[in-house]
């Protein structure tokens, strides 16, 4: 899951994700004093490394449990600095759109979180989390009765098949690729270049729909994580007869509790109730408020000021993926009345300074930068201890296999950078390798990061040429193979609790392509072999393989410099009810909000 706003990364999901946005993966936290104690925060974050359970039909039956004290009515105001990356489900892999997707789109399965932060996978469109056979190579899903889209048309297995097959089309370039590659290999687009729009389909030996209510996936190896994969926002259903291809990104058809009334890209998005959504079919979502009014272009600092003041419509407002602006954190946590309205917790994202290996080919350059970067200054720009902790490696505290003391570059001892060592390394470099082009997002957070990166690297002898990139299309721009940048800050978080959802999407050589999340363009035979090995092992055996891959990447390849682990601290208006930190989104749990009056 990648992150766009400080992480806020993809995944994600996750943001789930991401995000930056990043689809993704934190323990429930409704306020209080946590956030200043990093060790305590990391212990709380470990809830995300717990195994996700798979629910049966009983656990997948709606309606969702009522939120205590919830009332119907009213409109929630939603503030966000950057515009949405996408609205087409197949393109969603960062946290901003992932949050919106929770309101708009349903998929075969969905993540469900209890009041203790435990997460399960339930059937969403499907009656349960899935039935596996053939040693886990075959998965069968039955669709629930009474599920319709916003136009009142029943969702059938043909719509699910279409939603999968359209992902093979070239215009889908920015979403997750797990399912496609599992079904058809790394070159999956060749298996169905028309994306199903030309009347051709995947063979029944790969994807079968024997009747209107049944969907069967056939893989060449066991895929025990499929229920979690299908719960990602990027696998939301797209009704076949409503699909407008590229245009769908601007006007998608809803299947969730809300639908789009109006959308002005980068300006506003208005959601209203979807009257064709049946709560009896949905065990996760609610429809308490009449709608959501998203306002884009509101800076993080302005959001924070307005929410602290808590006047008028701001009482009914939330932040989407932005958080409390760094310089105002103390104004929030130091005021008991304001601090009561805080939602905070650990995120699954590791923010990194990622190198474009097609341009920064000398490992010594990458090593020097890794020693030089100033995590302390970057974290200060995120809100200090409330915004993040120094990252000594690529695995976050939320991930199984996290090693808090694995620190090959001494980041924990020198969070401001090892200036002396980096300076000596830069002196030994050829002059033509001392100039580096750095891409940064044109958001408030991006501007702060630019200053910190320039200061740290200039200090040790590098010349930094900074290039501004539009924040709404940031990941799209750095995701181009031929991008003109040497390095850029990225954030990635687990799509579900497995190192495979971190190592595979960003370091697998087969993922080097336009729109892929292998932003460093790593192609290493040893890494690829370890990934392939781990994906065929049981989790306990795979743990050692993922660890080997992690250490080899950080010490021998250096595709990026680890910078910081992200935390999130968000503020809501005083009239917002049901606010809690979501373990799945690593943001405010948008599924359960209501207005108190």
Cβ neighbours, 10 Å, residue 315: 19
Cβ neighbours, 10 Å, residue 1: 44
pTM of the entire predicted model: 0.80
The residue count for the chain: 597
Q: What three-state secondary structure class fits 365?
A: helix
Cβ neighbours, 10 Å, residue 128: 22
Instruction: State the pLDDT confidence band at 536, using cuts at 50, 70 and 90.
Output: confident
Q: What is the mean pLDDT of the chain?
A: 91
Q: Which residues contact 158 (CB under 8 A, 6 or more apart)?
A: 209, 212, 240
φ, ψ of residue 577 to 5 degrees: the values are -115, 155
Supply the pLDDT for residue 7: 30
On the question of pLDDT at 324 being above 70, the answer is: yes
Q: Which residues contact 131 (CB under 8 A, 6 or more apart)?
A: 139, 140, 141
Mean pLDDT on 63-71 = 97
Residue-wise over 69-89: b if at least 16 C-beta within 10 A, else e?
ebeeeebbbbbbbbbbbbbbb
Q: DSSP labels for 388-413?
A: EEE-SSS--TTSTT--TT--TT-TTT
301: left (phi over 0), alpha (psi -120 to 50) or beta: alpha
Instruction: State the pLDDT confidence band at 398, using cuts at 50, 70 and 90.
Output: confident
**Tokens of residue 161, six digits:** 């098949």
Supply the pLDDT for residue 24: 34
* DSSP, res 49: G
On the question of pLDDT at 113 being above 80, the answer is: yes
Task: Tell me whether strands 207-211 and 214-218 are parallel, antiparallel or unpaired.
Answer: antiparallel
**Tokens of residue 446, six digits:** 């991006």
Contact 173, 92 (CB under 8 A): no
477: left (phi over 0), alpha (psi -120 to 50) or beta: alpha
Mean pLDDT on 385-395 = 93
On the question of pLDDT at 34 being above 50, the answer is: no
Q: What three-state secondary structure class fits 138?
A: strand
Q: How far apart are CA 544 and CA 532, in angstroms?
A: 13
Instruction: State the pLDDT confidence band at 50, using cuts at 50, 70 and 90.
Output: low
- Give the model confidence (pLDDT) of 328-379 as tens digits: 999 999 999 999 999 998 888 999 999 999 999 999 999 999 999 999 999 9
SS (H, E, C) 236-303: CCCCHHHCCHHHHHCCCCCCCCEEEEEEECCCEEEEEECCCCCHHHCCCCCCCCCEEEEEECCCHHHH
Exposed/middle/buried for residue 124 (C-beta within 10 Å: 0-12, 13-18, 19+) = buried
Supply the pLDDT for residue 35: 44
On the question of pLDDT at 1 being above 80, the answer is: no
Q: How far apart are CA 390 and CA 417, in angstroms?
A: 11
* H/E segment holding residue 564: strand 560-571
Supply the pLDDT for residue 539: 77
Q: Can you tell me which residue has the tokens 């950080």?
A: 554
Q: Which residues contact 135 (CB under 8 A, 6 or more apart)?
A: 222
pLDDT above 90 coverage of the chain, percent = 79
Cβ neighbours, 10 Å, residue 471: 23
Q: How far apart are CA 311 and CA 31, in angstroms?
A: 21
Query: What residues does 388 pair with on adjacent strands?
Result: 566
SS (H, E, C) 161-221: HHHHHHHHCCCCCCCCCHHHHHHHCCCHHHHCCCCCCCCCCCCCCCEEEEECCEEEEECCC
Supply the pLDDT for residue 14: 28
Q: How far apart are CA 234 and CA 490, in angstroms?
A: 19
Higher pLDDT, 497 or 340: 340
Supply the pLDDT for residue 44: 59
Contact 18, 577 (CB under 8 A): no
Instruction: State the pLDDT confidence band at 33, using cuts at 50, 70 and 90.
Output: very low
What is the greatest pairwise CA distance in the chain? Answer: 69
On the question of pLDDT at 453 being above 50, the answer is: yes
Mean pLDDT on 171-196 = 95
Supply the pLDDT for residue 13: 27
- Give the model confidence (pLDDT) of 465-484 as tens digits: 999 999 988 999 999 999 99
Instruction: State the pLDDT confidence band at 41, using cuts at 50, 70 and 90.
Output: low
Q: If we measure between CA atoms, which residue out of 465, 470, 475, 464 comes closest to residue 443?
A: 470
Supply the pLDDT for residue 109: 98
Q: Evaluate the omega torsion of the peptide bond into residue 476 and state whether it is cis, within 30 degrees of 0.
A: no
Mean pLDDT on 76-105 = 95
Q: If we measure between CA atoms, which residue out of 112, 95, 114, 178 comes closest to residue 587?
A: 95
Q: How far apart are CA 277 and CA 285, in angstroms?
A: 10
**How far is C-alpha 490 from the chain's CA centre?**
12
- Give the model confidence (pLDDT) of 3-21 as tens digits: 544 333 333 222 222 222 3
Supply the pLDDT for residue 19: 26
């Amino acid at each position: 899951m990648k992150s766009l706003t400080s992480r806020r990364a993809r995944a994600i999901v996750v943001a789930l994700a991401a995000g930056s946005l990043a689809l993704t993966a934190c323990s429930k936290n409704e306020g209080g004093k946590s956030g200043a104690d990093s060790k305590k925060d990391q212990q709380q974050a470990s809830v995300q490394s717990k195994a996700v359970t798979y629910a049966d039909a009983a656990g997948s039956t709606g309606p969702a449990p009522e939120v205590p004290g919830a009332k119907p009515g009213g409109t929630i105001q939603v503030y966000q600095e950057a515009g949405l990356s996408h609205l087409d489900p197949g393109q969603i892999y960062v946290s901003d759109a992932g949050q919106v997707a929770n309101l708009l789109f349903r998929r075969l399965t969905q993540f469900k979180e209890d009041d203790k932060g435990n997460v399960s996978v339930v059937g969403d469109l499907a009656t349960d989390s899935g039935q596996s056979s053939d040693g886990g190579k075959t998965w069968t899903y039955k669709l629930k009765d009474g599920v319709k889209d916003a136009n009142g048309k029943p969702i059938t297995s043909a719509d699910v098949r279409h939603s999968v097959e359209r992902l093979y089309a070239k215009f889908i370039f920015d979403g997750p690729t797990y399912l496609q590659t599992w079904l058809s290999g790394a070159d999956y687009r060749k298996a169905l270049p028309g994306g199903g729009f030309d009347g051709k389909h995947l063979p029944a030996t790969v994807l079968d729909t024997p009747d209107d209510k049944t969907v069967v996936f056939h893989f060449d190896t066991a895929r025990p994580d499929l229920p979690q994969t299908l719960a990602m926002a990027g696998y939301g259903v797209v009704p076949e007869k409503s699909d407008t291809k590229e245009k769908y990104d601007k006007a998608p058809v809803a299947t969730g509790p809300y639908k789009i009334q109006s959308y002005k890209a980068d300006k506003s998005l208005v959601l209203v109730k979807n009257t064709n959504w049946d709560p009896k079919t949905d065990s996760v979502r609610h429809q308490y408020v009449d709608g959501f009014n998203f306002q884009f272009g509101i800076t993080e600092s302005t959001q924070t000021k307005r929410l602290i003041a808590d006047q008028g419509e701001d009482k009914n407002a939330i932040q989407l993926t932005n958080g409390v602006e760094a310089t105002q954190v103390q104004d929030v946590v130091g005021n008991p009345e304001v601090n009561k309205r805080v939602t905070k917790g650990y995120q699954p994202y590791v923010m990194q300074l990622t190198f474009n290996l097609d341009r920064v080919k000398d490992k010594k350059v990458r090593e020097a930068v890794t020693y030089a970067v100033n995590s302390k200054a970057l974290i200060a720009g995120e809100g200090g201890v409330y915004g993040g902790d120094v990252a000594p490696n690529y695995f976050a505290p939320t991930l199984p296999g996290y090693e808090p003391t694995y620190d090959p570059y001494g980041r924990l001892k020198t969070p401001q950078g090892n200036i002396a060592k980096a300076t000596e390394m830069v002196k030994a470099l050829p002059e033509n390798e001392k100039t580096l082009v750095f891409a940064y997002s044109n958001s408030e957070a991006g501007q702060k990061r630019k200053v910190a990166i320039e200061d740290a690297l200039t200090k040790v002898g590098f010349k930094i040429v900074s290039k501004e990139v539009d924040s709404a299309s940031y990941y799209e721009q750095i995701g181009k193979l031929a991008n003109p940048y040497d390095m850029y800050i990225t954030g990635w978080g687990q799509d579900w609790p497995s190192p495979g959802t971190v190592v595979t999407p960003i370091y697998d050589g087969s993922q080097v392509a336009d729109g892929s999340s292998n932003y460093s363009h790593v192609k290493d035979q040893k890494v690829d072999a370890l990934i392939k090995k781990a994906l065929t092992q049981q989790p306990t055996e795979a743990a050692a393989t993922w660890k080997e891959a992690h250490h080899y990447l950080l010490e021998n390849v250096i595709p990026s410099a680890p910078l910081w682990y992200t935390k999130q601290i968000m503020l809501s208006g005083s009239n917002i009810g049901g606010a809690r930190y979501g373990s799945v989104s690593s943001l405010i749990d948008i599924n359960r909000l209501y207005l108190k009056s």
